[in-house]
Amino acid sequence: MYRRFGGGRWSVPEIFKAMSLRPDLMEKALDLSEMGHFSDGYLDRRTKERIATFVSSLNASHYCVGSHAGGLRDLGARSAEVAALARGDLDAASLSAKDRALFEFVRQLTLKPGEVKDEDVARLRRKGWRDEQIFEAAFDTSLFAFFNRLAITYGLDYPPDGWQPPLRTALRPGGGS
C-alpha cells in the first residue's frame, strides 16, 4: 500500500489505514475508487470531486469532506463553490440548472434512496444528462456513502492537508485570529 501511494507511512490516506484490518477488501476498495472516482469517465474528475464533497457533507463525514473539498480546490474550483458544497449548500454553489438537477438527484439518492423513481432519472435526461453520466453520478454517490460510513466509524477527522472549514482554519496556530 505504501508503494502504491508513492511514499512512506504518512503517504497512505487515513481511510485506507482504517481499512487495513482486511487488506484484501482495502485493495479492492482502492481499485474501485481509482477506476470509478479518481479518473475521468463519462463525468470528469472535477464533477466527481464535487459529488464526493457534497455527499460527504450530507453524511457529515468530516474526513471525506476535507479530503475531497481539498481535491476539488486542487482541481481549480472557486473557493466559494468548494465551501458551499462542503456545507451541503447548493444555492451558494452557483450551479447551472443542469448541474443543479444532478446534485438534487445526488441529494435524494444520499438521503432518501428508497424514494428514487424512474421519473427522477427521466428528469435528468430531460436536463441533458446521458445514462452513462447518470450511472457514474449514482456510482460516485454510492461509493462515498460507503467511504463516509467507514470514516465515521473510525472517527476520522478533517485531514490536516485537506480542506478545512474557515472557523477551524482560523483557530489553528498561525491560521488567523
Q: In this predicted structure, which of 44-48, 100-104, 152-156, 169-173 has the lowest mean pLDDT?
A: 169-173
Amino acid 23: pLDDT: 86
In sign, the C-alpha dihedral spanning 52, 143, 61, 157 is negative
In sign, the C-alpha dihedral spanning 164, 167, 171, 176 is positive
Average pLDDT of the chain is: 90
pLDDT digits (tens, 9 = 90+) for 56-70: 999 999 999 999 999
166 — pLDDT class (breaks 50, 70, 90): confident
Amino acid 177: pLDDT: 38
Amino acid 89: pLDDT: 97
Measure the CA dihedral 160/41/153/11, to 10°. Answer: -40
Mean pLDDT, to the nearest integer, of 9-17?
A: 71
pLDDT digits (tens, 9 = 90+) for 130-159: 999 999 999 999 999 999 999 999 999 999
Mean pLDDT, to the nearest integer, of 79-108?
A: 97
pLDDT digits (tens, 9 = 90+) for 16-57: 788 888 889 988 998 999 999 999 999 999 999 999 999 999
Amino acid 174: pLDDT: 52
Residue where the block lists cell 463516509? 148
Q: Which grid coordinates belong to 4?
A: 502504491
Ordered DSSP codes for 66-111: HHHHHHHHHTT--HHHHHHHHHT-TTTTT--HHHHHHHHHHHHHHH
Amino acid 2: pLDDT: 56
Classify the phi-psi angles of 168: left when phi > 0, otherwise alpha if psi is within -120 to 50, otherwise beta: alpha
Amino acid 176: pLDDT: 45
Amino acid 19: pLDDT: 81
161: nearest Cα among 151, 172, 152, 150: 172
175 — pLDDT class (breaks 50, 70, 90): low
CA distance 139 to 147: 12
